[in-house]
Structures are given as C-alpha cells and as structure tokens.
Amino acid sequence: MYDVAQIRADFPILGREVNGKPLVYLDNGASAQKPQVVIDAITRGYAQDYANVHRGLHYLSTVATEAYEAVRGKVARFLGAAEDEVVFTTGSTEAINMVSYAWAAPRMQPGDEIVLSLLEHHANIVPWHFLRERQGVVLKWVAPEPDGSLPAEKVLEAIGPRTRLVAVTQMSNVLGTRVDVAAITRGAHARGVPVLVDGSQGAVHAPVNLAEIGCDFYAVTGHKLYGPSGSGAIIIARERLAEMRPFLGGGDMIRDVSTDSVTYAEGYARMEAGTPGIVQQIGFGAALDYLMGLGMDNIARHEADLRDYAQSRLAGLNWLTVQGNAPGKGAIFSITLDGQAHAHDISTILDRRGIAVRAGTHCAMPLLTHLGLTATARASFGLYNTRAEVDALISGLELCHELLG
C-alpha cells in the first residue's frame, strides 16, 4: 500500500516549520526534497568512500567507481533504456546544450528548422536560440490549444522539408500538460526527423519506457527526481551518439593524446569529460532506487488523486483562474487571482503560512507571453504531498483573496 505518512517520514525536511507553521512544500516543479536514503548516500560517499573514479587501482577508487558506474544501470532500468545509451550530465540544461553543440550544430545550415512547442522550459529553448543566432537556424513554434493541450498531430504538421529536429517537453512545468511524445516520435521518424524529449517533469510523475517512446534524445535532471542538484543524464540512441562530436575536452573522454593528435573514447565515454559529479550521481542512483521501490505507477495514482482533489477545491473559487486544463494533466497548478494581485504577493502571503509555491515566469517566458501573463503562482505536487496540504493551499488562497482581491 502507498502509505503517504510513512513516505513523509523518509524526508527529514518535511518535519520542520516555516514562519511558525508546518512546512507545506508545493514547489516540486522547481526542485524536489530529498529522502534520508539520498542524504545518507551522499554522506557515505564523502565520509567513507570518496576517491576519483576510473583508472585508479587503489581500494577507494575501485569502490567509488563501482558505485558511480552502477548508477548508469539504474538510470537505464528506470527509463527502459539501454545502459550504453546513458550519458551522465549535471542535469537537463547541460544535456540539451550537449545535443545542441555536439549533434545539431555540425549538421545545421542556415534556413534549417527546429520545431519547438510554446510549452518548453528555457532549458529546451535557449540552446536552440544559440543555433538561430550563430548559424541562421529557424525556430518553428507550435502553440498549445486553449485548454493547454498539445496534440501530436499539431506538432507533426509543423514539420517541413527543412526540419532537422523536433524538441518537445513530455510535461509542461507550468500547465501540467502531458504530451504524447511517443506519437510525435513515430510521426517525426516517419518523416526522417529525429526527436529530443525533455523529460525533466515527465519522468518524475509517471513511468517512462523509452523502448516504447523511441525518441533519439531523452533528458532527465536528478534534483527533480528527489536526488541531488548537479546530477542527471541524457539517453542518446546509439545511432545519434555515433554522430556526435565531443562536447567538452579533458580527461576520461580520450583514448590517446600526443602533441599533435588526439583519439577520442567510444560511446558515452566520449561525452563525459573530466572528474564528474561522483557523489552527486551516487545520490541520484539512491533516489532512483527509492522511486523504483515505491513504484512509479503507485506514485502516479497518488498524484492523480491529489490533482483531482485540488481541481475540485479550486473550482469552487470563482475569483481565481487556473491556467491550462488539459485532459490527464499532472498535479501542477499555475494560478492567477482576478484583479491586480501579483503572483509575488500571493507567494509572500502563502509563505507566511508555511506554504512554499513558486512565483514568476517559471523559465517559460514564451508560454507566459502566449497566455498574456507576466507571472503566475504555481503549486506543484509530489509523491509526499497530501489532501490536507491541498486544503492548506485553498485556505491560504482565500486569505490572499481577502487581502488582495
């Protein structure tokens, strides 16, 4: 059974108070809290088992290397991918920049196109703007429907003869919209176009099977998956990995170096230069173990219950607007209050009650512009949140309306 009280006990920070009130943490879309097993893995990694990985022959180096490399298999199991397709990164931002620099830049000509949606996080926008600025690449934008949904066929209709890549989120961090990335991948591949999926939100809230999705690139970030910041991975199909030039130069990504030549390592090793975030990735692996132990299906059901309950409670507040209501959306609610109430004021009032929400543009300025907004207050739920915390949010919003309405 999914025992949310027991799960909450696994997260030390959830027992603290903020401004004299029990913490209600509803900023999971930005970064999730860490269970004790992750904290313990990090502590052990530094206190008992730390050494640099790879090539060291002494005991600690062997222990650290084995723990670090074991995470590659955990990422593969968690996402339904092949282990030799897993490239470690510091998170989705580095991952997508890696694809932009190492795969897209060498094969893009002026006038070539990248298809994007307006649901994207800046991490899946700015790296493509680099190519627009530097190489004359054209960005083709696909707008969501009025309810926030993004039909696969609408994305596929934007593909033209000069489209070289489709880059799309699996789940909007603002609206909670879930995107059918498998259908987009099938349609794009039928047109000979590779697909990058930003799984930063998608992988957190429901099971992912990349063998079924079939995309060429899939990025995840550890800190949203209840792991440490500075950890993450990108899954790169073998065919695409073979096409990529090295992203960074240094140790680990080479085979031989002389004064007049360099030979690069094969496969994922070519993309992993220098001393990595050893303990961060070990902590990431502990987080994935924790999630797989709970079961992503169980987490998805729990969060769906929270979503439905929150939707029913929010529907009773006729002075408030929730942005986006796509069918099957995730438990993310971007809220505006009618009148002049600013999202920052809403967040400040909620914070006085110990309720943590995010206020601003959520690194999705093109979407906010499309919606005609400058900011929203966003409540994003995770595996440890409860219906009682939904009630606390509603009570806090009623106070905001009383003070700001």
Q: Which residues are catalytic?
A: 363
**What's the pLDDT tens digit per position in 78-87?**
999 999 999 9
CATH assignment of 39-293, given 3.30.300.180, 3.40.640.10, 1.10.510.10, 3.40.50.10490? 3.40.640.10
Structural fold of domain 4-30+296-404: Aspartate Aminotransferase, domain 1 (3.90.1150)
pLDDT of residue 55: 83
381, 329 contact by CB (below 8 A): no
All residues at 6 or more sequence positions from 39 whose CB lies less than 8 Å from its CB, including other chains: 12
pLDDT of residue 56: 87
CA 217 to chain centre: 13
pLDDT of residue 176: 98
Q: Say whether pLDDT at 339 is over 80.
A: no
**What's the pLDDT tens digit per position in 239-288?**
999 999 999 999 889 999 999 999 999 999 999 999 999 999 999 999 99
355, 394 contact by CB (below 8 A): no
In terms of phi and psi (left: phi > 0; alpha: psi -120 to 50; beta: otherwise), the region of 352 is alpha
213, 237 contact by CB (below 8 A): no
Which H, E and C letters describe the chain, residue by residue?
Answer: CCCHHHHHHCCHHHHCEECCEECEECECCCCCCCCHHHHHHHHHHHHCCCCCCCCCCCHHHHHHHHHHHHHHHHHHHHHCCCHHHEEEECCHHHHHHHHHHHHHHHHCCCCCEEEEECCCCHHHCHHHHHHHHHHCCEEEEECCCCCCCCCHHHHHHCCCCCEEEEEEECECCCCCCECCHHHHHHHHHHCCCCEEEECCCHHHHCCCCHHHHCCCEEEEEHHHHCCCCCCEEEEECHHHHHHCCCCCCCCCCEEEECCCCEEECCHHHHHCCCCCCHHHHHHHHHHHHHHHHHCHHHHHHHHHHHHHHHHHHHCCCCCEEEECCCCCCCCEEEEEECCCCCHHHHHHHHHHCCEECEEECCCCHHHHHHHCCCCEEEEECCCCCCHHHHHHHHHHHHHHHHHHC
Strands 113-117 and 163-169: parallel
Cα-based angle 340, 343, 347 (whole degrees, multiple of 5): 130
In terms of phi and psi (left: phi > 0; alpha: psi -120 to 50; beta: otherwise), the region of 251 is beta
By percentage, how much of the chain surpasses pLDDT 90? Answer: 97
Q: Report the C-alpha gap between 145 and 138 in whole angstroms.
A: 23
Give start-end residues of each CATH 3.90.1150.10 domain in the chain: 4-30+296-404
pTM of the model: 0.97
CA 3 to chain centre: 25
Give start-end residues of each CATH 3.40.640.10 domain in the chain: 39-293
Q: Say whether pLDDT at 1 is over 90.
A: no
Neighbour-count burial of 204, counting CB atoms closer than 10 A to its CB (0-12 exposed, 13-18 middle, 19+ buried): buried
Average pLDDT over every residue of 71-92: 98
Closest CA to 350 of 329, 371, 377, 316: 377
**What's the pLDDT tens digit per position in 102-148?**
999 999 999 999 999 999 999 999 999 999 999 999 999 999 999 99
pLDDT of residue 31: 98
Q: Report the C-alpha gap between 103 and 242 in whole angstroms.
A: 10
